[in-house]
């Protein structure tokens, strides 16, 4: 065995010698130096942590607004709560695409954003007054979709206020609303803490390579998962693509507040920012696009990174072309909605096929042998 | 021809190399199986999936349920142990070959060249008298001890190993590998964080060096290992090469299996000294007089092995019978020692149409497949076809008989932009699997066609 070790050692020493010589050599062709570590640090410090900080703050503000509304339910406090709810829901679109590490532990997408929500379950829970919102049976009776129903479901502001002042089970309804917003805030806090005072930021920054569980592997896989959810859940299912026949308007995200379209656009913007390494403070830092340029990934004669960036913009433009609430558009403007769907499909082809290939990222969540 | 070769092939040679090979191969298998079970892959790959992708003609091979699969793996582990120590050897080797091969035949999503290698070596081990030297069988029945086995019993493993390397080298002689340095150009930069060699992996010239050296290595190593004077250096290269692949790629036990298997190229003297040293540890003595193994039905075995070898030589060439680019169509790709040659990634959208209503729905693949199955399915035409048939059956079970299934599949291969792999208009449910060329595979275009979403109708 000693002999083998010697040979292995000799081999490595030779390679190391090659390495030390290489600095004297002219490098082949124009090559952009790329610091992967800087990219990963940029993602952690300038995108992910700010996204969770913002989400934590917005959900805190939401919980505070809900408390104020519950204490004195008026049209004014309701409006303040609705604004806080929309802000927090939009902040979730920025945060939910990093579902690894702490967010994966908290199952953020599952716990906060299963839609359509079950109004029957919500009303049953309120009527009963006893329930366990941690049970999986209640996944579609909590989170933002449930808030959406409670804050908008009755129709106009006055009707909602009435539910919280003179309707049936007022006390239980108030308690349910408060518990929903508290639970959301708890999850947001847990993820924020995991990234900041917890050690996940360090773990993330020190997971090099592109294998399963590496920082880049996690980013690429979760970005793709998020784009897939955007295409399938936000657009595909409500427009009836997964069920034969007609559109299913009630399956849109944020059905009652009719903010689906804005959330959809926010999700696409967030996905694009993640691809570009676009920091929360507006600086375009080192991102996956630069990494693609580094390995000289090409598409159709140009750079793959340019093709992907352009496709994000086309998808966003298609979403912008849809008028009014998405729940109506799926039936009245099916062409425009189909266009959004098709553009998201093209985007997925690029991000899920061409991008991982060029980066050597395995599309997998389990560690497996290859050959 | 065979008649002339016969005296050479049947001449007695030292049994030590074969015994060492049996021992290290069995040990590696035991370790691999325990590792496989320890990582929870039995459950993840053979219990949890809702559907499986059996091989054409082996559709009857089905998983055995959780208890059944674990029982099978325990049996496999015991058989590997039996092989290693040479206890009830023939039965152990046969059980190992059958159980291992059965598991591999369940789902082609898990196909790896090195699993195929294990299967063929296990089959060969069933046929050779590897247990009559340095084994528990000999301790139990001392009269069965031999010091010599016919040369073919050692040669067949050297030949098999040589074929693996040589064909892996031949497969590297293609423009993507040699001229574009693909896929290593995409794979190596992912490892720049490694100590010592890390910074080198970002250099294009290093990538080309890896490619050309890799091809040269694979093509020549069987010969350099066979030649006494180059053997030590060649083996050192084997170690360095496989250690590098182990560090750079996620290929599990394979590098180690190859590192110990290639010891069979070493001289009888080397193996005898190795065994002598082991015997001195446990204080076992062997008779001084040499005894040659008598092999039952040797002429028949020899003829069978000639047929086997011819098949092994020919099978990797079956792809020439199919039209189109092999890497793209993968018709005749498996079982040919084409390792680490492709970065092929795909995304597949499936649409199922109810012929009665004309309504078409899109399929969420994760409702049916594991992530690994979806990944494999999206780049391999025969699996796309199997999945289409599964979808049709599932819809038939849900009262939509005769459903039509189309697939819009984009694949990116070795740095080419993604393009459609198969005709998105073809009703796959109506296509039958066979060894005939699949006419619905689209040709590979070197220039990427513009991306169009075919979408639903």
Mean pLDDT taken over chain A: 89
* pLDDT for the residue numbered A369: 60
Give the residue-averaged pLDDT of A123-134.
95
CB contact under 8 A, B361 and A10: no
Cα-flanking dihedrals φ and ψ of residue B13, to 5°?
A: -130, 170
Q: Which two tokens stand for residue A279?
A: 């920091």
Give the residue-averaged pLDDT of A3-17.
43
Asked if residue A4 has pLDDT above 50, the reply is no
* pLDDT for the residue numbered A324: 83
Cα-flanking dihedrals φ and ψ of residue B373, to 5°?
A: -60, -45
CATH T-level assignment (fold) for domain A208-362:
A middle domain of Talin 1 (1.20.1420)
Give the residue-averaged pLDDT of B315-332.
96
Chain B contact for A281, CB < 8 A? no
Asked if residue B44 has pLDDT above 90, the reply is yes
* pLDDT for the residue numbered A370: 58
Give yes or no for a cis peptide into A116 (omega within 30° of 0): yes
CA A159 to chain centre: 33
Tell me the nearest-neighbour CA distance from B403 into chain A, angstroms: 12
* Residue B108 confidence class, pLDDT cut points 50, 70, 90: very high
* Residue B255 confidence class, pLDDT cut points 50, 70, 90: very high
Asked if residue A56 has pLDDT above 90, the reply is yes
Q: B122: helix, coil or strand?
A: helix
Give the residue-averaged pLDDT of B187-207.
87
CA separation for the pair A224, A105 (Å, rounded)? 19
* Residue A368 confidence class, pLDDT cut points 50, 70, 90: low
* Residue B421 confidence class, pLDDT cut points 50, 70, 90: very high
Task: Collect all residues of chain A within an 8 Å Cβ-Cβ radius of residue B339.
Answer: 371
CATH class of A32-206: mainly alpha
Chain B contact for A18, CB < 8 A? yes
Give yes or no for a cis peptide into B380 (omega within 30° of 0): no
Residues 6 or more apart whose Cβ sits within 8 Å of residue B273: none
Q: How do residues A194-251 score in pLDDT, each as one tens digit?
A: 999 988 999 999 988 777 788 999 999 999 999 999 999 999 999 999 987 789 999 9
Task: Collect all residues of chain B within an 8 Å Cβ-Cβ radius of residue A308.
Answer: none
For tokens 């379950």, what's the residue?
A121
Nearest to B42 by CA among B66, B60, B26, B62: B66
Asked if residue A25 has pLDDT above 70, the reply is no
Of residues A25, A212, A366, nearest to B44 (C-beta) = A366
Considering chain B, what percentage of its residues have pLDDT values greater than 90? 84
For tokens 């920054």, what's the residue?
A205
Of residues A360, A364, A366, nearest to B186 (C-beta) = A360
Q: B27: helix, coil or strand?
A: helix
CA separation for the pair B14, B154 (Å, rounded)? 9
CA separation for the pair B451, A242 (Å, rounded)? 23
Total Cβ atoms within 10 A of residue B228: 10
Asked if residue B424 has pLDDT above 90, the reply is yes
Asked if residue A350 has pLDDT above 50, the reply is yes
Residues present in chain B in total: 457
* Residue B1 confidence class, pLDDT cut points 50, 70, 90: low
B 429-448: CB under 8 A from A? 447-448
Cα-flanking dihedrals φ and ψ of residue A304, to 5°?
A: -60, -40
DSSP state of B346: E
* Residue B86 confidence class, pLDDT cut points 50, 70, 90: very high
CA separation for the pair B176, A198 (Å, rounded)? 46
Asked if residue B116 has pLDDT above 80, the reply is yes
Tell me the nearest-neighbour CA distance from A269 into chain B, angstroms: 21
* pLDDT for the residue numbered A371: 57
CB contact under 8 A, B112 and A370: yes
Give the side-chain half-sphere CA count within 13 A for A370.
23
CA separation for the pair B448, B178 (Å, rounded)? 21
This complex has an ipTM of 0.88
* pLDDT for the residue numbered A320: 97
Q: How do residues B119-144 score in pLDDT, each as one tens digit?
A: 999 999 999 999 999 999 999 999 99
* pLDDT for the residue numbered B186: 87
Chain A contact for B349, CB < 8 A? yes
DSSP state of A117: -
* pLDDT for the residue numbered A363: 60
Give the residue-averaged pLDDT of A170-183.
97
CB contact under 8 A, B196 and A358: no
DSSP H or E stretch at residue B248 = helix B231-248
Considering chain A, what percentage of its residues have pLDDT values greater than 70? 88
Of residues B114, B185, B205, nearest to A371 (C-beta) = B114
Chain A contact for B358, CB < 8 A? no
B 43-62: CB under 8 A from A? 44
B 405-434: CB under 8 A from A? 410-413, 415, 417-418
Residue range(s) in chain A whose domain bears CATH number 1.20.1420.20: 32-206, 208-362
Considering chain A, what percentage of its residues have pLDDT values greater than 90? 77
Q: B13: helix, coil or strand?
A: strand
CB contact under 8 A, B203 and A297: no
DSSP β-ladder status, B148-150 and B344-353:
unpaired
* Residue A28 confidence class, pLDDT cut points 50, 70, 90: very low
CB contact under 8 A, B254 and A209: no
Tell me the nearest-neighbour CA distance from B290 into chain A, angstroms: 29
Chain B contact for A341, CB < 8 A? yes
Q: How do residues A137-168 score in pLDDT, each as one tens digit?
A: 999 999 999 999 999 999 889 999 999 999 88
Total Cβ atoms within 10 A of residue A367: 15
Give the residue-averaged pLDDT of B425-437.
97
Asked if residue B448 has pLDDT above 90, the reply is no
Cβ contacts from A onto B, under 8 A: 177
CB contact under 8 A, B251 and A364: no
């Amino acid at each position: 065995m000693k002999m083998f070790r010697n040979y292995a050692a000799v081999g490595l020493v030779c390679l190391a010698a090659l390495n030390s010589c290489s600095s004297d050599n002219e490098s082949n062709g124009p090559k952009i130096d790329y610091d992967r570590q800087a990219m990963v640090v940029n993602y952690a410090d300038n995108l992910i942590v700010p996204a969770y900080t913002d989400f934590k703050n917005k959900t805190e503000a939401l919980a505070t607004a809900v408390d104020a509304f519950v204490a004195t339910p008026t049209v004014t406090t309701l409006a303040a709560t609705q604004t806080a709810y929309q802000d927090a829901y939009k902040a979730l679109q920025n945060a939910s695409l990093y579902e690894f590490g702490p967010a994966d532990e908290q199952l953020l997408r599952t716990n906060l954003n299963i839609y359509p929500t079950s109004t029957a379950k919500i009303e049953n829970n309120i009527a009963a007054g006893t329930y366990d919102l941690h049970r999986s049976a209640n996944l579609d009776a909590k989170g933002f979709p449930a808030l959406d129903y409670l804050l908008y479901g009755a129709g106009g502001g006055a009707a909602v206020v009435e539910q919280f002042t003179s309707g049936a089970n007022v006390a239980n309804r108030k308690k349910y609303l408060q518990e929903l917003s508290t639970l959301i805030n708890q999850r947001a806090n847990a993820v924020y803490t995991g990234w900041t005072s917890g050690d996940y930021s360090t773990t993330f920054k020190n997971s090099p390579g592109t294998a399963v569980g590496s920082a880049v592997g996690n980013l690429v896989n979760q970005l793709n998962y998020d784009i897939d959810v955007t295409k399938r859940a936000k657009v595909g299912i409500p427009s009836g693509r997964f069920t034969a026949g007609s559109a299913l308007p009630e399956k849109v995200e944020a059905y009652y507040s009719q903010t689906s379209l804005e959330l959809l656009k926010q999700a696409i913007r967030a996905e694009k920012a993640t691809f570009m390494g676009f920091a929360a403070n507006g600086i375009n830092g080192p991102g996956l696009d630069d990494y693609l340029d580094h390995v000289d990934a090409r598409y159709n004669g140009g750079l793959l990174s340019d093709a992907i960036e352009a496709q994000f913009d086309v998808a966003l433009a298609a979403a912008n072309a849809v008028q009014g609430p998405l729940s109506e558009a799926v039936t009245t403007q099916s062409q425009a909605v189909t266009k959004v769907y098709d553009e998201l499909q093209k985007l997925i082809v690029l991000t899920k096929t061409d991008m991982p290939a060029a980066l050597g990222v395995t599309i997998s969540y389990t560690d497996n042998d290859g050959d | 021809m065979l008649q002339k070769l016969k005296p050479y092939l049947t001449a007695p040679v030292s049994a030590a190399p074969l015994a060492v090979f049996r021992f290290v191969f069995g040990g590696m298998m035991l370790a691999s199986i325990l590792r496989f079970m320890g990582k929870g892959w039995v459950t993840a790959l053979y219990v949890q999936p809702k559907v499986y992708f059996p091989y054409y003609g082996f559709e009857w091979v089905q998983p055995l349920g959780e208890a059944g699969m674990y029982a099978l793996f325990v049996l496999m582990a015991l058989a590997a142990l039996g092989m290693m120590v040479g206890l009830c050897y023939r039965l152990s080797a046969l059980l190992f070959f059958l159980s291992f091969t059965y598991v591999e035949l369940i789902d082609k999503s898990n196909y790896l060249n090195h699993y195929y290698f294990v299967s063929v070596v296990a089959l060969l081990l069933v046929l050779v008298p590897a247990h009559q030297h340095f084994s528990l069988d000999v301790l139990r029945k001392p009269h069965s001890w031999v010091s010599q086995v016919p040369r073919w019993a050692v040669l067949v493993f050297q030949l098999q190993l040589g074929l693996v390397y040589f064909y892996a080298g031949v497969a590297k002689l293609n423009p993507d590998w040699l001229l574009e340095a693909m896929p290593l150009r995409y794979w190596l930069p992912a490892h720049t964080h490694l100590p010592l060699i890390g910074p080198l992996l970002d250099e294009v010239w290093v990538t080309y060096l890896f490619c050309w050296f890799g091809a040269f290595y694979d093509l020549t190593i069987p010969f350099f290992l066979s030649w006494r004077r180059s053997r030590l250096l060649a083996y050192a290269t084997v170690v360095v090469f496989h250690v590098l692949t182990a560090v750079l790629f996620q290929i599990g036990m394979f590098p180690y299996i190859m590192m110990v298997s290639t010891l069979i190229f070493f001289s009888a003297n080397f193996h005898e000294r190795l065994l002598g040293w082991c015997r001195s540890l446990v204080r076992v003595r062997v008779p001084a007089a040499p005894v040659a193994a008598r092999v039952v039905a040797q002429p028949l075995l020899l003829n069978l092995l000639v047929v086997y070898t011819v098949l092994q030589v020919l099978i990797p060439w079956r792809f020439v019978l199919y039209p189109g680019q092999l890497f793209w169509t993968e018709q005749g790709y498996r079982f040919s020692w084409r390792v680490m040659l492709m970065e092929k990634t795909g995304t597949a959208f499936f649409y199922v149409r109810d012929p009665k209503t004309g309504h078409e729905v899109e399929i969420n693949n994760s409702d049916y497949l594991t992530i690994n199955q979806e990944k494999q399915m999206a780049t391999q035409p025969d699996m796309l076809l199997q999945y289409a048939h599964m979808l049709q059956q599932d819809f038939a079970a849900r009262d939509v008989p005769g459903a039509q299934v189309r697939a819009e599949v984009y694949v990116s291969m070795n740095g080419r932009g993604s393009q459609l792999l198969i005709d998105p208009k073809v009703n796959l449910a109506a296509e039958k699997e066979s060894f005939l060329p699949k006419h619905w595979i689209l040709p590979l275009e070197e220039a990427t066609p513009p991306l169009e979403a075919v979408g639903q109708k």
